[in-house]
Structure 1
Amino acid sequence: MRRTLIALGIGLGLLGSTVVSAPAQASSWVVDPLASTVPAAQQVAAFWLADGAANLKNATPYAVQTVVHGERGSTAVVPDGKTGIIAPAQGPVSEEGQPSTTWGKVFFVGTDDQPHWCTGTAVQSKYRNVVATAGHCVYDTQSGRTTLDKWVFVPGYSEGTTPWGLYVGKQAVAHYDFYASTDYDRDFAFVNVYGGVSFSADVLTDTGRLVDNVGGQGFTWNRMTASSVDVFGYPAGPNPDGTQPYTGHTLESSAGSTFAMTLSDLSADQPIGVDSPFTGEGSLGSSWLYRYSSDSRVGCLAGITISVSDTDGDNRYDTSVSPYFDGEVAEVYNAASNLWTGSIA
């Protein structure tokens, strides 16, 4: 299911949206507008921050494709080239002595016209403005693959607060195979966000660039399976047995080694898994970090949770699932890394 796209400025049309095509020398990525103008972005920010951030507080965990049936594969994933790595950027420490956090929640309005959220992570980039999450937390895979409406990122979100600002998405950079044919080997997206804003007395105030404020995780690709990773996200949903170990209010973590998987109900050729007790709702978009340091709170992004699975049949989820990050994922990341956004305040 791997193809190469040479986009020549033609409309490739997610229903109801306009694609900003990749230049002719690029291979497999597309850029899709979210809030492409400053006035549109200001309206999005006001939607989430007005009325005491009521829409942020009322948002619920996104419940699309939270569970998949899978098992450990018998063969290792084969990299498509050399291993690569981009170093992370450690975030500043606040005046109160609290470290900033690259993790947070991405909020959007679904096709049910209700506010929802997934997990998102700030990633280092040229313009310090990239958020990584699951592709289906940016695109509506249920009805035509349009982009989800009013997309924003809030690092360190907690009960309506935006401690490091709210960041409106300007454009999403995705792999063409996910965009065009919902290939779940490519279920990831890198979103360029405008500078952060706070909201007071109906006035938006600029809070600066995302990675300048909170730091950014690095990025790595073509790693061998069996690499140890730490998983960070905001799981919230129940297990099949009805237990609900997480609330979605606090950042949770787990650790394990990656392994190849086979899935029976998603179109994916080489997904990978990691032992993790996270439930699906809320943890979609969780970051898998290679060489994570608890002192600096950064590592290198090596996977993104797109679903969870109960592989041993005990009615509790035990595995998180991600696309394998190969060289084509690096191409998409590089495209996003080189896109500038600016301020909306």
Structure 2
Amino acid sequence: MNPRVKRLVLPLGGALVVTSMIGASFSSAAQAAPDPDAKTTALTSSGNAKAIAGYWTASKLKSATTYLADSTVSAKLTKTGAARAAADGKPGVVAPTGEGGKTAGVSKNLNLPITVGKVFFIDDKGKERWCSGSSVQSKYRNLVATAGHCVYDTDTNKPFNNFVFIPGYYQGKAPWGIYVGAKVNTHDDFTVYEDYDYDYAFVNVYNGIKQQPEKEVDYKTYKAHVDKGGVGRETSTNVDFETYDKWTQKGGLGKVDNVSSEDEVGPQYNGALAVASETDKWTWEKVTGEVYGLKDDKVTLKGNALPQASWPKTGSKVESRIENVTKTEYDAYKGPGYKKVDAKGNYTITYYYVVKYIKKTATVKYVIFRHYISTVADAGRLGDNVGGQGFSWNQKLGKKVFTFGYPTAPHLDGDKPYSGQTQKWCYGTTAAAPVVSAYKAQEQQAIKCAFTPGASGGPFLLQYKSSKRTGYLNGVVSLTIDSDKNGRYDRVTTPYFNGDTYGIYKYAANLWTGKLPA
């Protein structure tokens, strides 16, 4: 494990930017080979996109934590220690999507860009994480800009899993949809040498996916949905016998707990109730014979109710059921159910039952299960929905910029001014950043800003117009720094965007991600 990476100030959530550029601006690049310093890595196939988007439920979005290492940077800013970023050619710009379009209207307050949002992913420990990011101009309106460390794990030398971008994120909501990452484009010096002078990434995303309102369904519909990779959830409730009886008579699933030997009877007992008794996978599989169902406290076989005289013996197989759970629920579960993480990263528990027969008694606990599914719809291209910021490179230091993101971590002195659930901004003049040898950051630029970790990946925007909510991407938040070592973050840094950066951006801006399968 690389100690340098683990001491990063990644807490600033790396954000993605989706860009949509004017086709003519990139016509020459469309047929060009990738920049020799560029590294393009696949994130997932289009066939997995809906399942990944469905994975990020509102509860998971709100419970995810910022990508934070065990410390952040405290670097003294001195004349001899300041970075000296320099242009490697003439300056240039690419106009933002929608330049010259309708304005947002006059406001006394700054209009926040809807291109900015959060990127979410699962780290190498299986934990849900986030950074900040922004949509940026591209030919196919499918590009997001963020910090390299918010997409690519230099410890494992591969990208993080289940990567998505949510523009305009607000308190667990995805108003313009969820955009699943298809490809990530980085500089080789970041992925190979972990050089934070190249801590940026341009991510091509698929069309957005919008989650539809959750609806309740029967277990058969629920199981078919999750077996195909869909998202669903199950709830269990303790009820009285009358509620349990009515529920199961309607075809709902239920089980009975706390069955004592005194409660048990044989299948032909007058008034016997057939109930599901939970067992483990291996015991269930050893039972031979048919797999039965239970309905209305009676036994069914292939959907048909059996007369009591034909009920099977105690301990016969009852249909199993599968439940999608969160990682926290998965880790906490200690019961006999079979735990599994499927190929798409879904955490599941399969429960197995055998039939028992009981008489009605007050000592028994009755449980009913309800099932819900979530479906998704194609929301269209990122740039068409929220626009894309322009792009600039080889710009002089000393320019006024805005930076946006979702800071959340406390200052080093313990003060915690931000929640991470709403977008914030800073305004300052670019200047040389402190040299941070731990990250090989020797040519970054910075502005004075009290952002705390969580803003990583958020955009630096030149010439930001509040009325249009657009500007020119001139950097992405890389490090948060306490430059005077007083326990308060006072600067955010970005790699200097030069000709190398433009070359990688230009290549990424001409990549098509294809259509989502129906």
TM over 0.5: yes
Matched, 1:80 2:88: yes
1:61 to 66, 70, 77: 66
The 5 A counterparts of 1:1-345 are 26-35=35-44, 37-49=45-57, 53-64=58-69, 67-70=72-75, 71=77, 73=81, 76-90=84-98, 101-141=114-154, 143-200=155-212, 201=214, 202-261=374-433, 262-280=435-453, 282-344=454-516, 345=518
Give the 3-state SS of the residue equivalent to 2:430 in structure 1.
strand
CA distance in 1, matches of 2:202, 2:184: 6
Unmatched tracts of structure 1, length 5 or more: 1-21
Residues 289-338 of structure 1: CA deviation (Å, up to 9, x unaligned): 00111111110010111111111122100000111111000011011101
- Kindly name which structure, 1 or 2, has the bigger radius of gyration based on alpha carbons: 2
Q: How far apart, in 1, do the equivalents of 2:203 and 2:509 lie? A: 9
Change (3 A) 1:242 1:111: same
Q: Aligned in 2, Cα 1:76/1:100: closer, same or farther, shift over 3 Å?
A: closer
Query: In 2, Cα distance between the equivalents of 1:65 and 1:327?
Result: 33
Structure 1: how far apart are the matches of 2:51 and 2:161?
12
Return the TM-score normalized by structure 1: 0.86
- Asked whether the 8 Å contact 1:93–1:99 carries over to 2, the reply is no
Q: Deviations over 1:161-199 (max 9, x none)?
A: 210010000010111111111111111000000000112
- Give the 3-state SS of the residue equivalent to 2:169 in structure 1: coil
Q: Structure 1: which amino acid aligns with 2:61?
A: L
When normalised by structure 2's length, the TM-score is 0.58
Question: Relative contact order (alpha carbons < 8 A, sep ≥ 6): 1 or 2 greater?
Answer: 2
Deviations 1:225-247, CA, capped at 9 Å, x for gaps: 11111010110000011101111
Please report how far the alpha carbon of residue 127 of structure 1 lies from its aligned counterpart in structure 2 after TM superposition: 0.6
Unaligned runs of 5+ in 2: 1-30, 105-110, 215-373
Partners in 1 of 2:401 and 2:414 — Cα distance?
Answer: 28
Deviation of 1:58 (Å): 1.6
> Does structure 1 conserve the Cα–Cα contact (< 8 Å) formed by 2:88 and 2:394?
yes
Q: Is this contact kept in 2: 1:68–1:266, CA < 8 A?
A: no
Q: What code does the residue aligned with 1:241 have?
A: D
Q: Secondary structure at the match of 1:274?
A: strand
Amino acid at match of 2:41: D
Cα deviation, 1:182-217, whole Å, max 9, x if unaligned, reads 111111000000000112253321111001100111
Contact 2:113 / 2:470 at 8 angstroms: preserved in 1?
Answer: no
Q: Distance in 1 between matches of 2:65 and 2:71?
A: 14
- Give the fraction of aligned pairs with identical amino acids, expressed as a percent: 42
**Aligned equivalents of 1:232, 1:254: Cα separation in 2:** 7
Distance in 2 of aligned mates of 1:92 and 1:40: 36
By how many angstroms is 1:140 displaced? 1.3
SS at 1:40 equivalent: helix
Q: Secondary structure at the match of 1:181?
A: coil
What's the secondary structure of 1:160's corresponding residue? coil
Separation in structure 2 between the aligned mates of residue 325 and residue 286 of structure 1, nearest angstrom: 14
CA contact (8 A) 2:207 2:382 kept: yes
Distance (Å, rounded) in 1 between the aligned partners of 2:381 and 2:391:
19
Distance 1:343 1:158, change over 3 A: farther
> In 2, distance between residues paired with 1:241 and 1:54?
30
The one-letter amino acid paired with 2:458 is S
Q: Which residue of 2 aligns with 1:3?
A: none
